[in-house]
Amino acid sequence: MAKNRKSVGSLINEYEASGKLTASEAQEFRDAPMWSIPFSDIASYLGGSVIFVGLVWIVAALMHDMSQASIDAALFIASCATAILSYKLMKKGGRLNTLGESIAAVSTMTFAIAIGLLLDICNVHSDYILLIASAMALAIGIGLSSRTTFIGTIIIVSATQPFMAGAITQFLPDTSVAPLLFVGSGTALMWFSLRNIGLRFVARGAGAASILIAAIAYSTWDNNTWQPIIGFAIVGLLFIFGAKRMHLEVVAAGGLGVTVITGVLAGRLFNSPLMQGLSVIGVGVIIVFTSIAISKKGNAVT
């Protein structure tokens, strides 16, 4: 576990008391917002969204008079044009970088749609269309992740679960193993959040949510006791990882998973509601005493 770390407020008070910060400087830190997004960035996000809506609108209008092949060609041209514009804006940097990244999202979505339509024209099965289109978007997101401040991560998070859903539908439909693939994709997102990327908390939160939902689904898929035990182990490891890294959203997901799956396991092991309740309390007591023992060694979650 990670060692005890002081909160921001405690550090500010300590620096103020030691004279490293004046009273007014300390108060400015206390009053500073957790997040600060410039208006130009917000306008850039909005502009990118409006551009995407406009492209969709144009495509919808053209669909009445154009063949599928013509529409698909127009989508590829639009994707290429917006990609070039995005690259030029990001290359200039500064405030234009945010607009460039927003347009990169438009370009990626347009490209994925164009790929999907092309595969549909070629009579490819719909499951493969989802798999291939999301894989393309995922590859673009990975390529952009180290060069952009936010859009690479957003694309990866948006494309990962559709890709996994397509893989499950095509290769493992209606099997209890399917939720474990979402555990795998969630774990991949958690691992990816450890890299030097923008918006790490988005990848981390999406990964934790994926693991939580998948572990609960796997635990309740069949009426047996060993699947909830595996599910409990998964969310337990998630909780430990979050505590070790001191990521509150991961701790919350792991804790919720432990609570829910403990209830599922108790229901499978005992017929008596009294024994079920006592077993759940017992697990809670074990967790509490374990956390106290760890904290005495100088560890904590903040």
Is this prediction's pTM over 0.85? Answer: no
For residue 217, pLDDT beyond 70? yes
What is the pLDDT, as a whole number, of residue 75? Answer: 84
- Select from 197, 100, 218 the least CA-distant residue to 153: 197
For residue 59, pLDDT beyond 70? no
Segments making up each domain of the chain, as ranges: 1-30, 39-172, 174-296
- Considering just the CA atoms, what is the radius of gyration of the chain in Å? 24
8 confidence band (pLDDT: 50, 70, 90): low
The answer to whether 219 and 227 are in contact (CB under 8 A) is yes
Query: What's the mean per-residue pLDDT of the chain?
Result: 79
What is the pLDDT, as a whole number, of residue 294? Answer: 55
d(Cα 114, Cα 72) in Å, to the nearest integer? 5
**pLDDT tens figures, 75-119:** 888 889 889 988 888 888 776 777 788 888 888 988 998 998 899
Token couple for 23: 């009273």
Other C-beta atoms within 10 Å of 27: how many? 13
CA dihedral sign of residues 65, 66, 71, 73: negative
Mean pLDDT score, 198-226: 88
Report DSSP letters for 221-259, one per residue: HSS-SHHHHHHHHHHHHHHHHHHHHT-HHHHHHHHHHHH
Which residues are CB-contacts of 112 (< 8 A; sequence separation ≥ 6)?
133, 134, 136, 137, 159
